[in-house]
Amino acid sequence: MRDITFPRIMEEYLQGYREHYECIDPTVRLQENAVSKISRVKSFLTFMAHGFKRLSDWLFMRDLKRIRGWSRSLITSSLQVTTSDFYIKNIAHFVKYMSATPCKGSRLNQNDMTLITRELGAILKSLRKKVVIHQMQVKRDKMEGLPSHKDIIACLTAANTLIPQLLDVMASNPTTATRLLLYGYLTLHWSCIYGHRPGVYSNMTNAEVRKAETTGTAFGYLIHVSNHKTASAFGESAAIPHHRRVWMDEEVAGYKGDADMGEERVPDSAPTSPDTDIVTNAQASDQLANMQCVVQISPLVLDE
């Protein structure tokens, strides 16, 4: 759908809509979302314009029956109802943009835009019940898949034992495989306690860790991670207990630069031969593989 082309004036208008969506400082993720959104808009416009010879006047948008037909084709397809709802909301957002910023050459009047907006609103309202039921079912499935208290305690016990050992290995014989294993156990330990997504820790930078050292207390300190998926909903702080701070100090001290903690940064003394990049602790590797399913969990109060 991204290869669909329209008359030049329409392509310029769609490009303007994309720039409006990305705003002034888009992240890579936002740019990718903008490309997907424009692709869905083009797919909708192609469906609506089928059989019309002239597109630049946008009069093909007035066909309300075809709008309902497009929405019905989404709902009856293999897409989940929440995905269909999301696609229709994308089009509703585009129509709202069109209403406020008409395209040059468009012959749609304000009454047409009101009818289109009202039709999309009615379609979304009719889907609301199915969307809520589907969301509740997905939530129940996720809750049933949460790890047990016993599994979480086992993860914490293994992490408490193996993280110091891996730090010692990194100090004496650093390898990429050992470093990645260390990252895995660190994020596993923190996720089991605080419930943060692993992405919070993979986006953590050395600069953020060092800055937190100036505000630490006897109870621990806060690392303000600004770049993660749920920052707008849950804030930017990740708490680290004071007695675990030594792990962070040792880990940060072994690397140079302020690259993200989750990136493959090479320590000063790291070997470059691929033959040396092997895991020296096979037991740790096996245990981590068995624990990968419990990294993303809800916050729980646990005794370490």
Handedness of CA 179, 181, 182, 184 (dihedral sign): positive
Say what the pLDDT of residue 76 is: 93
Say what the pLDDT of residue 92 is: 96
Half-sphere exposure of 181 (CA within 13 A, CB side): 29
- pLDDT tens-digit profile of 113-168? 999 999 999 999 999 999 999 999 999 998 888 888 888 899 889 988 998 899 88
Say what the pLDDT of residue 62 is: 93
Are the beta carbons of 245 and 218 closer than 8 angstroms? no
For the entire predicted model, the pTM comes to: 0.64
Q: Which two tokens stand for residue 147?
A: 């790890």
Whether the predicted pLDDT of 66 surpasses 80: yes
Give the range among 71-75, 142-146, 177-181, 284-288 with minimum mean pLDDT. Answer: 284-288
Using the structure block, give the residue that is written with the tokens 């075809």: 66
Alpha carbon 245 to chain centroid, angstroms = 28
- pLDDT tens-digit profile of 229-285? 766 666 666 656 544 555 655 555 554 443 444 443 333 333 333 333 333 333 434
CA–CA gap between residue 165 and residue 167 (Å, rounded): 5
Say what the pLDDT of residue 125 is: 96
Q: Which two tokens stand for residue 220?
A: 């621990």
Choose among 155, 160, 159: nearest CA to 294. Answer: 155
CA–CA gap between residue 163 and residue 159 (Å, rounded): 6
In terms of Cβ atoms closer than 10 Å to its own Cβ (0-12, 13-18, 19+), residue 17 is: buried
